[in-house]
Amino acid sequence: MTITTDVAIIGGGPAGLTAAATLASRTSARVLVLEREQEAGGIPRHSDHPGYGIRDKRTFTTGPRYARRLVREALDAGASLLTGTMVTSWGEDGSLEITSPRGRECVSASVVVLATGARERPRPARMIPGGRPAGVFTTGELQNKIHLHHQEVGTRAVVVGAELVSWSAVMTLKEAGCRTELLVTRHDRPESYAAFNLGGRAMFRASVATRSRVTQVLGRTRVTGVEIEDLRTGVRRVVECDTVVFTGDWIPDHELARSGGITLDRGTLGPLVDSIGRTDRPGVFAAGNLVHPVDTADVAALGGAHVARAVEKHLDGVAFPEGGAVPIVGAAPFIWVAPGLYQPGLPAPSRGRLETWVSEHVRVPRVTVRQDGRVIARRTIPWPASPGRVFRLPWDLVTNADPTAGSVEISL
């Protein structure tokens, strides 16, 4: 069986649902959202704490309420939603092959929007030795276990990471009756905003071990502790716990993009896109945390709306500039820069910002933009750069780039 639609959106998280609501409300296009989970809403669905919807909805609500609102708005706008549906591959004709409880089907669409999001690297991918005891989670696994399935965890936890999502894990652990003994970060200070660090320490009485790393998980059937190394001295110690949560260290869910032959950005590992979310596969756009891992849900949603407006023009036959796109790259301490292409004549990206990720703290960032060794922009940014959260730069830093010259390099 073949399902025919105008726009197929793969991923029912904030970016995908907002793109669907935007397109369905602004156009007469048939919009279909394909979501592999049984319920749409993405990560906010099992993040049962406040802090969602600030930028896109001008509200302050919990993750589940935010997720339900996004689903409702997409459906009310006229979009269709298929949950429990996995897109497994691309057909030779550009169609999407899907698998669900209904069996195997195909989806034929004029435009595809990839919004499959990002995930945290689990312990095996981080190459941390030890046994395989119960009690080891990522934040997503922890919140799914507690908020969706109402299961118990342990009583004492160590959280690996000290960024925003790490404090989200701490809040979830507290709700489950599990005390966080320690947060561990390789950096010389916690990655999260100062308000979160101070508030988190005061509210949850959790210590943060900076310039430290977990070298081993201890325990046979159940976690009994972790071995931690102080990176300044090399001294190791054991912290007793029965739960370990690995947070952050995000990677895009890019398998479908890669299997479709879409070029991936070497920095983000997501699809390489221009400022309106176009990939190098005709008719395929990408949005949200698939493009860069990872930003907050409301910013991902705004990115979905931004890409939807570009898709709207594409459906109307508007001719976008083609060719002459200039790569945008970052020198250390930048890990990635998104979007990774500057195409003259295209609108600025969502919120008029370049989004970047850095590997070290820079209190007063002085940004220099060069092309072929020539300085084309300099700017002192009035907010610090910090690992573990997106560092945003004004888009006009790159708009003086020469489309006939080489890559644009951004440095600190």
- Residue 98 domain-assigned (yes or no): yes
Task: Please report the DSSP string for 64-85 in residue order.
Answer: HHHHHHHHHHHHHHT-EEE-S-
CB-based contacts of 184, cutoff 8 Å, min separation 6: 158, 159, 160, 161, 162, 208, 209, 212, 213, 214, 228
Same domain (yes/no): 361, 313: no
For residue 307, the enclosing domain spans 2-119+250-320
As averages over each run of 10 residues, the pLDDT of the chain (412 residues) reads 96 98 98 97 91 95 96 98 97 92 95 97 93 95 91 95 92 94 93 67 79 97 97 97 96 96 97 98 97 95 98 95 91 97 96 96 96 97 93 97 96 96
- Residue 179 domain-assigned (yes or no): yes
Same domain (yes/no): 152, 187: yes
Same domain (yes/no): 257, 403: no
Same domain (yes/no): 236, 290: no
> What Å distances lie between residue 176 and 139, 152, 233, 247, 256, CA to CA?
13, 7, 35, 17, 35
Query: What's 146's domain CATH number?
Result: 3.50.50.60
- Residue 398 domain-assigned (yes or no): yes
Same domain (yes/no): 14, 25: yes
Of 320, 349, 367, at which residue does a domain stop?
A: 320
Of 320, 349, 380, at which residue does a domain stop?
A: 320
Residue 214 CA to residue 323 CA, distance in Å, equals 47
Query: What's 357's domain CATH number?
Result: 2.60.40
**Residue 239: what pLDDT?**
97
| Tokens 């997409």 sit on residue | 74
What does the block give as tokens for 317?
């036959």
**Residue 19: what pLDDT?**
98
| Tokens 């279909």 sit on residue | 32
**Residue 197: what pLDDT?**
61
Same domain (yes/no): 225, 254: no
Total domains present in the chain? 3
- Residue 78 domain-assigned (yes or no): yes
Task: Please report the DSSP string for 98-115 in residue order.
Answer: EEETTEEEEEEEEEEEE-
Alpha-helical (H) ranges within 87-191 are 139-143, 164-175
CB-based contacts of 307, cutoff 8 Å, min separation 6: 15, 19, 113, 276, 277, 285, 286, 287, 350
Same domain (yes/no): 180, 255: no
Same domain (yes/no): 287, 138: no
Of 194, 217, 246, at which residue does a domain stop?
A: 246
- Residue 48 domain-assigned (yes or no): yes
- Residue 331 domain-assigned (yes or no): no
Same domain (yes/no): 10, 95: yes
CB-based contacts of 12, cutoff 8 Å, min separation 6: 33, 34, 35, 37, 40, 41, 42, 71, 81, 83
Residue 108 CA to residue 47 CA, distance in Å, equals 34
**Residue 325: what pLDDT?**
93
Residue 285 CA to residue 274 CA, distance in Å, equals 10
Nearest to 106 by CA among 175, 22, 229, 4: 4
Same domain (yes/no): 128, 221: yes
Alpha-helical (H) ranges within 244-375 are 255-259, 297-315
Same domain (yes/no): 165, 219: yes
CB-based contacts of 284, cutoff 8 Å, min separation 6: 111, 112, 113, 114, 260, 262, 278
Residue 398 CA to residue 405 CA, distance in Å, equals 13
- Residue 39 domain-assigned (yes or no): yes
pTM, rounded to two decimals: 0.94
**Residue 244: what pLDDT?**
98
Same domain (yes/no): 12, 83: yes
Residue 338 CA to residue 3 CA, distance in Å, equals 33
- Residue 87 domain-assigned (yes or no): yes
